[in-house]
């Protein structure tokens, strides 16, 4: 894969960094990222991955743009109400880098289309849907595809990246072994601040880049962020020996 002259100009400030010389940047551009959910987290996440040179994206969301999305979903505006999120998001992202390869799917991930994720370098679940989260977790575990799970509600953020290395089990089911959705706070009941969703998206993007670039060993840790105090906690998570997916 070669970088075009226009891309060199777009990413010129990034390529100054010693960690992102042209050879390394080329490798980053080969990665394929699948994002499930183009809401408050998925929008800034996709945007900042494109800003950083990731150019192969699969976008999944079957929802339409609504007015009550606009306080936190920064790829959309009032004039786009009623349009499909995935289609609008693709257009906006190509406006940042027209050389990106973006597949937009205006559908939910189900057992029937999980194969669309098979070539992913990483899957990022920002769906805020319990059944989707469990389905994607099991698939990524079986296929040994890294999975980043991100959620935000109120003023709190929760993010974890599972490496899904073969014979080294740790998954979402280890932490939340519930078949039915647990009784947790939801954005539509307790609300969410737009900056919280944005921060969750940006941190998820940075965590993805860190993983690709091998910047740190900060994986398989549950990151909790209290945005009111800006306190960040990293909790070590061990596999559950009773996990049903073992």
Judged against a pLDDT cut of 70, whether residue 186 lies above it is answered with no
H-only helix segments in the chain? 5-10, 12-15, 22-29, 42-51, 85-96, 130-142, 172-175, 187-190, 194-213
- Alpha-carbon distance of 184 to 48, in angstroms, equals 28
In terms of C-beta density within 10 A (0-12 exposed, 13-18 middle, 19 or more buried), how is residue 245 classed? middle
Question: Of 171, 164, 159, 76, which is closest to residue 125 (Cα–Cα)?
Answer: 159
| Selection from 172, 135, 150, 117 nearest residue 40 by Cα | 150
Rg (C-alpha) for the chain, rounded Å, is 18
Q: Name the residue among 200, 199, 191 with its Cα closest to residue 153.
A: 191
Q: Is the pTM of this model over 0.75?
A: yes
Q: C-alpha dihedral over 127, 152, 162, 229, to 10 degrees?
A: 170
Name the average pLDDT for the chain.
93
pLDDT at 97 (0 to 100) = 95
Of 206, 45, 38, the C-alpha closest to 127 is 38
For 31-236, CATH gives 3.40.50.720
Q: Using one digit for the tens of pLDDT, what is the confidence trace for 46-85? A: 999 999 999 999 999 999 999 999 999 999 999 999 999 9
Average pLDDT over residues 178-198: 75
Q: Are 82 and 39 in contact (CB under 8 A)?
A: no
Domain ranges of the chain: 31-236
Side-chain-side CA neighbours of 233 within 13 Å: the count stands at: 10
Work out the pLDDT band at 216, boundaries 50, 70, 90: confident
């Amino acid at each position: 894969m070669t970088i075009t002259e226009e891309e060199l100009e777009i990413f010129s400030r990034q390529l100054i960094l010693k960690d992102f010389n042209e050879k390394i940047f080329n490798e980053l551009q080969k990665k394929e990222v699948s994002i499930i959910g183009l809401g408050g987290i998925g929008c800034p996440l996709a945007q900042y991955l494109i800003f950083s040179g990731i150019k192969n994206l699969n976008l999944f969301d079957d929802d339409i743009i609504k007015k009550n999305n606009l306080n936190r979903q920064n790829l959309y505006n009032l004039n786009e109400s009623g349009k499909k999120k995935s289609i609008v998001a693709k257009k906006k992202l190509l406006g940042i880098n027209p050389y990106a390869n973006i597949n937009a799917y205006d559908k939910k991930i189900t057992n029937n289309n999980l194969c669309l994720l098979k070539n992913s370098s990483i899957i990022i679940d920002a769906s805020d849907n319990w059944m989707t989260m469990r389905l994607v977790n099991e698939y990524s575990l079986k296929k040994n595809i890294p999975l980043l799970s991100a959620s935000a509600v109120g003023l709190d953020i929760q993010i974890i990246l599972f490496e899904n290395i073969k014979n080294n089990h740790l998954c979402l089911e280890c932490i939340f072994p519930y078949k039915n959705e647990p009784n947790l706070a939801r954005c539509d009941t307790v609300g969410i601040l737009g900056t919280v969703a944005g921060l969750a998206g940006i941190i998820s993007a940075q965590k993805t880049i860190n993983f690709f670039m091998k910047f740190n060993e900060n994986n398989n840790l549950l990151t909790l962020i209290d945005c009111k105090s800006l306190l960040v906690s990293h909790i070590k998570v061990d596999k559950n020996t009773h996990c049903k997916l073992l």
